[in-house]
Amino acid sequence: MAENIISKDEVEKIAELSNLDVNGQEDKLSKMLSETVKYVENLNELNTSNTPITYQVTGLTNVFQNAEGKSQTLTKKEALSNAKEEKDGLFSTKAVFDR
């Protein structure tokens, strides 16, 4: 069988970048992700050297909010209503920096 396009090592690296735990699923993911990448390579059959990129399908550009428009926001209580932990009216998280 041909080697998978996305190796097990790459799976681990992508998982780290994605902040996901894939412990025990590396082989399956290597196989499935490779299968998908292999499929989408059929796009190379089409010449797009002079084709522009589509960013927005109905052609809207530069949509800005009206400065006088009412903005909508949540109250602090609403914003915190689903938080696992809060402290002094703020979201509580694990420390990011080493002390």
Provide the binding-site residues for other proteins, judged by CB under 8 A: 6, 10-11, 14-15, 17-22, 25, 29, 31-33, 35-37, 39-46, 48, 51-58, 60, 63, 65-66, 69, 72, 74, 78-79, 81-84, 91, 93
Residue 22 · residue 15 · CB < 8 Å: yes
- What distance in Å separates the CA atoms of residue 92 and residue 84, rounded to the nearest whole number? 8
Q: Tell me the closest approach of the beta carbon of residue 88 to other proteins, in angstroms.
A: 16
Is there a contact between 40 and 21 (Cβ–Cβ < 8 Å)? no
Per the structure block, which two tokens stand in for 78?
Answer: 């609403």
CB of 89 to other proteins, least distance (A): 14
Nearer to other proteins, 50 or 99 (CB): 50
Tokens of 12: 């681990």
Q: Of the two residues 72 and 98, which places its CB atom closer to other proteins in the complex?
A: 72
Q: Minimum distance between the CB of residue 24 and other proteins, rounded to whole angstroms?
A: 11
> 76 Cβ partners below 8 Å, 6+ apart?
89
